[in-house]
Every structure is written in C-alpha cells, then in structure tokens.
C-alpha cells in the first residue's frame, strides 16, 4: 500500500496495544505517517524513549501526536482511559515468549482475556472498529497434510495436540468473534492472521520469528530442520492493519497475511547466503534428517514442539487481502534480507 492509499481515511485517534513491540511500533509508525493520532499501551512508561527512537529510525517524528498509557492484558486497570476518545483500535499485543511456559494457561489466559478487555473497553468507549492481530497459528494447525493452501475459512483444530502459543491465538480469536457477535453492541471487528513476521527491525524488541534469522546468521543452527514457514514483511502487515481498520469491505472478515509460498529453513538460509555473501557464511548448508531432530526433542521441549510439523509443507493464500483490500505485499526474499540487514546494522549479529 502506498502513501496515497493510507491517507484515504479521515484522521482519527487510534488505540494501538503493545506499541513497543516489533509489529506494534510499525503499526504506530504507519498510522502516524497516515495522519492519525496514536494512543498506545505499554506495561512500563520507561519504554517511551526506546519507542520514539524506533519510530525515528522508521523515519517518523511522533511529536505530540503519540501518547503512551499503562495497561496490562492481565488487568482491567487502564483500558477504559486508554480507549476513551479513540475512533479505532489495533489490538496487536499478545504474549509470544521465546521459552515454552510450563503451563499453557500462562499464554492462553492473557491472550484470551486480554483481547476481551480491549474489546469491552472499545465497545464502552464507542469505537467504530477493532482490528485484532491473530495469526496463521489460528488457521493452519491440527490438520493432516493437505495439497491446497489454507485460507481464512479454516480454523486450527484445538482438539488436536497443539503448542501453547497456537492454542492461545486460536482461542483468543474465537473469543473475540463470539464477544462481538453476542455483546459487541455494534462494534465492528476485523482480524489479520499473519504468518511469520520478518522485515527490518527497529530496536532490540523484535518478534520471536526474527530469532530464526538471527540463528541462521550467527551459526546457532548446525543444520536446517525440514520445516516450512510463511514469510511476510512487518511493513506490509502494518499496512494491512490500516486497510482493515478503515475499509468498509473488511468488516467482519479475517485476512491471511503472507508474502507468498511458504519456504523451508534451508531455502531461507540459501536466500540469505545469496544476498548477503560473507555476512551469511554461517547459515547452514545442509538439512537435518528428521530422526536427528526427533532425537534432540527427547531432551529439549522447544525442539519437541516442532516435531509434528517436520516435513509437513504448509501453504496459505493471500488472495482475499489482495482482492478485497488491494493489499500488495513485498516478496518473502525482501522481507528476510531486510530483517538480516537490520540485525547487522543494529549490532545484534556481526556481519
């Protein structure tokens, strides 16, 4: 989406949750660039200088059009004040830890209850529409291998064995749709379901998906497991949120956000080597046999989570977002290379 597209909507005050995060800060940057005022929620106001520095790195001077409010997904406190006077909300915040929680409810409860807190506050404050950041995790898991791409009509099967994060995103989105249908009072909902979010990093607060690029660059992966991931650029996901926020066609709809066909870890490593040369010299050149990954899973719970997806090539369609909203994402290659270059520029990994 170009600048002309983003500026079609009349300026409004937009509540963006989780503003200091990887996607949240991009959503703020794009909303400000489109002329909106932004009110964002954080758990600690001490993060404001870091957030403003990240926005400046994205080429945006927030000035007095950005204000920060303290609110936590685990508490009712602060949400009513944050929503008051806003026209729209982008609910981006959701727990996604690098480490697996011992109890899956450590993820499920704040994701589900946090979404409901934001929706209640939005309804009570008279907001027009909330855009919820869900995930491909709520679409493509718990299913047998399939030859056709997933689309927005499919839901992950929570009756199947699922990782805590996958279950949390699925149950949170289900709860959001049920709330709007039963208690929304006219509040509109649209949902964005991104695959793995990559693209340029603005600070050291980046998505867990970026850790994969970091590990490919710094040699932490001795080989590439036979896994496939969808790739999308964070800038395009932010654009899709703004389209879903204001386009009448987005009301009551889900939108998968993916740049195109899913890539294997080996394909990702090859793309980085081709574009970055010596800076990606540690990226693995061989695939790991599935038996070796399963052996490692016996001792490592993090590895155990990926075992069910070994060799299962998933794919997803972005046709709905393209056709209904005119969304035009960057390529997966551009998203991955931009992520890698930004990690090098920030000194997170050495080139």
Residue 142 sits in a domain whose CATH number is 3.40.50.720
Owner of token pair 């909106």: 36
DSSP states along 243-305:
HHHH-GGGTT-EEEE-SSS-EEHHHHHHHHHHHHGGGGTTS--SBPPHHHHHHHHTT-HHHHH
Does any domain span residue 195? yes
Q: pLDDT tens across 256-309, in order? A: 999 999 999 999 999 999 999 999 999 999 999 988 888 887 877 667 767 777
**What is d(CA 56, CA 46) in angstroms, rounded to the nearest whole number?**
17
Inform me whether the pLDDT recorded for 200 exceeds 70.
yes
Does any domain span residue 219? no
Q: Are 10 and 41 in contact (CB under 8 A)?
A: no
* β-bridge partners, 40: 16, 68
Q: Which residue has the higher pLDDT, 47 or 329?
A: 329
Q: Residue 49 carries which DSSP code?
A: H
Q: Is the dihedral of CA 46, 47, 50, 56 positive or negative?
A: negative
Q: pLDDT tens across 5-51, in order? A: 444 567 899 999 999 899 999 999 999 999 999 999 998 899 899 99
Does any domain span residue 159? yes
Does any domain span residue 278? no
Angle 210-215-220 from CA coordinates, rounded to 5°: 160
Q: Which of 167, 169, 226, 282 is catalytic?
A: 169
Query: How many distinct structural domains can be found in the chain?
Result: 1
Domain containing 255 equals 11-206+230-260+315-330
Q: How far is CA 241 from the centre of its chain?
A: 11
Does any domain span residue 270? no
Does any domain span residue 220? no
Does any domain span residue 30? yes
Inform me whether the pLDDT recorded for 204 exceeds 90.
no
Mean pLDDT along residues 314-328: 97
**What is d(CA 143, CA 128) in angstroms, rounded to the nearest whole number?**
35
Active site residue 314: no
Global pTM value: 0.93
Does any domain span residue 172? yes
């Amino acid at each position: 989406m170009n600048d002309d597209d983003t500026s079609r909507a009349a300026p409004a005050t937009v509540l963006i949750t989780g503003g200091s995060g990887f996607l949240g800060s991009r959503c703020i940057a794009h909303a400000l660039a489109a002329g909106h005022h932004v009110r964002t929620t954080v758990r600690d106001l001490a993060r404001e200088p870091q957030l403003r520095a990240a926005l400046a790195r994205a080429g945006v001077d927030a000035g007095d059009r950005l204000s920060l409010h303290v609110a936590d997904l685990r508490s009712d406190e602060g949400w009513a004040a944050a929503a008051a006077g806003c026209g729209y909300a982008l609910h981006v915040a959701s727990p996604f830890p690098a480490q697996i929680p011992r109890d899956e409810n450590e993820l499920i409860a704040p994701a589900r209850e946090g979404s409901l807190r934001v929706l209640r506050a939005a309804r009570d404050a008279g907001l027009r529409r909330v855009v919820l950041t869900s995930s491909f995790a709520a679409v493509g898991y718990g299913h047998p291998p399939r030859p056709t791409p997933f689309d927005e009509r499919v839901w992950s099967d929570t009756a199947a064995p699922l990782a805590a994060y996958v279950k949390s995103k699925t149950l949170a989105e289900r709860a959001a749709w049920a709330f709007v249908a039963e208690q929304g009072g006219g509040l509109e909902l649209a949902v964005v379901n991104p695959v793995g979010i990559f693209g340029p990093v603005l600070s050291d607060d980046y998505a867990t998906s970026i850790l994969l690029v970091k590990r490919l660059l710094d040699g932490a992966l001795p080989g590439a497991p036979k896994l496939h991931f969808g790739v999308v650029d964070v800038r395009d996901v932010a654009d899709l949120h703004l389209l879903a926020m204001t386009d009448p066609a987005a009301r009551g709809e889900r939108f998968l956000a993916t740049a195109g066909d899913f890539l294997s870890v080996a394909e990702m490593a090859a793309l980085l080597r081709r574009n970055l040369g010596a800076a990606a010299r540690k990226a693995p050149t061989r695939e790991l046999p599935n038996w070796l990954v399963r052996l490692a899973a016996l001792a490592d719970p993090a590895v155990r989570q990926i075992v069910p997806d070994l060799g299962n090539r998933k794919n997803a369609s972005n046709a709905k977002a393209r056709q209904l909203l005119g969304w035009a994402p960057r390529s997966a290659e551009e998203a991955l290379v931009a992520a890698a270059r930004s990690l090098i520029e920030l000194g997170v990994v050495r080139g």
